[in-house]
Structure 1
């Protein structure tokens, strides 16, 4: 800036942008040097390198931090995205529990976290948009506010369309974490339990030749029943079923499958 006042010499759309005042001839050489340094990215005062993290931070997660550009997956580009566990908890506080904020913001390398994946499908597909599943992610580092991890499950979606498979890199935020497993044992046990539940549901559907069933919806209802039972262990199973039935909005056929499996599993309790 060589002429005019601050109010009229700087265009409004440049407000907030660095400006160098060159109106004083006595300071011209120094200001011109400042201009060249900013153009070529060579400031007169260099920022010192970042030191080692303090011992109480552990160090592992910080030392594996990166600064390359990353972003969250988007439904319109990758055809999948992560659902916010925080939002789901606010919408369904009685049935959708998540770890507290401090736990979700202080994860370490090697921790496993569960996130909810949402899918879209190509035109003409038999699958409906909005479906998804919950899977485990192993944390490998950070990048700014983001956690970086690798997928620890085999997704049900098609890898040719979604580009998502076992060991895929996943970028996520604390708000996407819906469960935490510090040692990895819970993830392995959960995967084994999930496979067992899936097998039971598939067997039930095949035995009674049921059409139009959605295994993920049935698993969701069964999970809601388990959580309701854990909150009220003294409540009888029929009352638990009625509580979940009145709260969960799932197609009738899937509700009935879940009810039959639930009652059968507890008929001798």
Structure 2
């Protein structure tokens, strides 16, 4: 599973584990078993780093993803937030993206509605293979 790259894709994910290790008191994350045991329909909050044309520095945004499936030691999920940027041609509700347990900074159990959302066809699929 290819993880997004800032230069290639215009966005990437920051490691929640690394941020927690740098600031354990002020940046708690779920334990490894919880981050590695997500099921379809569960919610995972991730840290997105997004390149923006008008800025030299990328923006950082925390957004929720609904887990679609487990794959190759990680997950595919559907974006469940709109990013906080003016121009956006990469992300919108329902965009599929890959992520690993190391990227998860918060989790919430899924429900019937989120499991239905996870089962729908993505508006934009992440390339597989």
TM-score w.r.t. length of structure 1: 0.39
- The structure where helix makes up a greater share of residues is 1
* 1:150–1:167 Cα contact (<8 Å) kept: yes
Decide whether aligned partners of structure 1 residues 130 and 94 sit closer, same or farther in structure 2, where only a CA change above 3 A counts: farther
1:85: which partner in 2? 16
Q: CA deviation at 1:159?
A: 2.2
Tell me, what secondary structure is at the counterpart of 1:141? strand
Count of aligned pairs? 111
Matched, 1:175 2:106: no
* 2:52–2:59 Cα contact (<8 Å) kept: no
Q: Deviations over 1:28-67 (max 9, x none)?
A: xxxxxxxxxxxxxxxxxxxxxxxxxxxxxxxxxxxxxxxx
Tell me, what secondary structure is at the counterpart of 2:19? helix
Match of 1:159 among 62, 75, 88: 88
For the residues of structure 2 that align with 1:134 and 1:101, how far apart are their CA atoms?
19
- The structure where strand makes up a greater share of residues is 2
For the residues of structure 1 that align with 2:58 and 2:22, how far apart are their CA atoms?
17
For the residues of structure 2 that align with 1:183 and 1:166, how far apart are their CA atoms?
17
Match of 2:57 among 129, 146, 152: 129
Q: Deviations over 1:95-134 (max 9, x none)?
A: 1110001111111111001001011223xx1x34232110
Q: Deviations over 1:131-164 (max 9, x none)?
A: 211000000112211200000001123323xx11
User: For the pair shown, which has the larger CA radius of gyration, 1 or 2?
Assistant: 1
Listed as ranges, the matches of 1:70-81 within 5 Å are 70-81=1-12
Matched, 1:146 2:77: no
Task: Return 5+ residue gaps in structure 2 as ranges.
Answer: 112-129
1:27: which partner in 2? none
Task: Return 5+ residue gaps in structure 1 as ranges.
Answer: 1-69, 185-269
1:99: which partner in 2? 30
For the residues of structure 1 that align with 2:56 and 2:93, how far apart are their CA atoms?
23
Bigger relative CO (Cα 8 Å, ≥ 6 apart):
2
* 1:85–1:177 Cα contact (<8 Å) kept: yes
